[in-house]
Amino acid sequence: MKRIVFFFEVHQPRRIRKFSVRDIGKNRDYFWDAKNLEIIDRVAEKCYLPATQALIDGNIKTSISISGVLLESLVKNRSDVVEKFKEYFQKTGGEPVVETYYHSLSSIWNEREFRQQVEKDSKMTETVFGKTPTTFRNSELIYRDDLAAVVGGMGYRNIITEGTDALISSHSPNYIYSSKYGQNLLLRNYRLSDDISFRFSNHSWTEFPLFADKYARWLEETPGDIINLFMDYETFGEHQWRETGIFEFLARLPEEVRKRGMEFSTISEVGELLEPKATLSIPNYISWADFSRDLSAWLGNDMQRDAFEDLKSFENCRDVEIWRYLQTSDHLYYMSLANVQDQEVHAYFNPYGSPFDAYIHYKNVMEDMRIRCFGENFKKKK
């Protein structure tokens, strides 16, 4: 039996407000919480509630990662969304997946900080949903070999990452693999995933319109044991609006999948049922972001690298919680100067109007943080 493995990233950052140079040393209110709540309320109504109900109605078993930053806001402000996710996990057997609590880049520079964020995320997930995660996904599917050693040492058996062109040229994404350190490694089938998340409403796409029966036939005709469909949860209702027919597609898909002899499974289930096809070594960082699928979405230009180095310098700041909110990878993502196609996506998410404005606001916050953490007379090391 071929198994369809849906994984959804559910995340909203705690965006910083437009912080001017005049605010430095005077205003410690860094976060744009009114805007953040406005966005969460909108996405809750357009995506989180209707999409989760559709998964319940279709008994679609999936794996879902909800970042700690978002989950704590939902617990505080949108308990109805939390209850809907609880209902989903209880009724379908879907599984919560753990990540870094702050959706950060901590894995690439600070193992101690990374471990603490993953442990905090796991505890939050267990407290809210009553389930202990056994699968790990890093922020934006960032991965290389040494991450598996750390994550495996923390007890996680399954890890997911991107099926980059370099990998799938010799290893189909439609099988389970073993990491260099023995964990199950699942690769995203980015072509079939992006057919839903990016191309679904594109009228110039040669396969438009995409109906559930056509898509299920593609899944059936794709060789392999599993089809890994990993995407933003906001695909349903937020990125692809209800008017595109995305919810009708989601409602019809279970019947079309099952009548072709396929079934939906969680990452943990296929990790237990299937044997790895081979061992994969991935020595360099990969991710699911942008055409390059590496770290350049966050560290690809001088602004991003400067902001990241600044961020790292606050490791010993006494306001560690504020510092961790500032680690959320979205802040660096907004500063991207990518190619035209990728930049359209970055601009879609950027609340500041330009990557340069995102950089200026962030750097102003960093300067205020320097005073907050180390005092007025502290001189930044060159």
The whole-angstrom separation of Cα 269 and Cα 247 is 26
The residues, ordered by sequence, that sit 6+ positions from 23 with a Cβ below 8 Å of its Cβ are 364, 368
Residue 84: half-sphere exposure toward Cβ, Cα within 13 Å: 19
Q: Which residue has the tokens 């056994």?
A: 134
Task: Give the containing element (helix H, strand E) for 188.
Answer: strand 184-188
The answer to whether residues 272 and 265 touch, using CB atoms and an 8 Å cutoff, is no
- Range 116-124, long-range pairs (CB < 8 A, 24+ positions): 117/68, 117/324, 118/151, 118/154, 119/154, 120/68, 121/67, 121/68, 122/98, 124/68, 124/71, 124/72
The whole-angstrom separation of Cα 255 and Cα 273 is 23
Would you call 248 a catalytic residue per the annotation?
no
Catalytic residue among 9, 99, 140, 238: 140
Best CA proximity match to 139, nearest among 98, 167, 174, 192: 98
The whole-angstrom separation of Cα 58 and Cα 254 is 6
The whole-angstrom separation of Cα 116 and Cα 288 is 24
In degrees rounded to 5, what are phi and psi of residue 187? -105, 135
Residue type, 233: Y
The answer to whether residues 187 and 230 touch, using CB atoms and an 8 Å cutoff, is no
Q: Which residues are catalytic?
A: 140
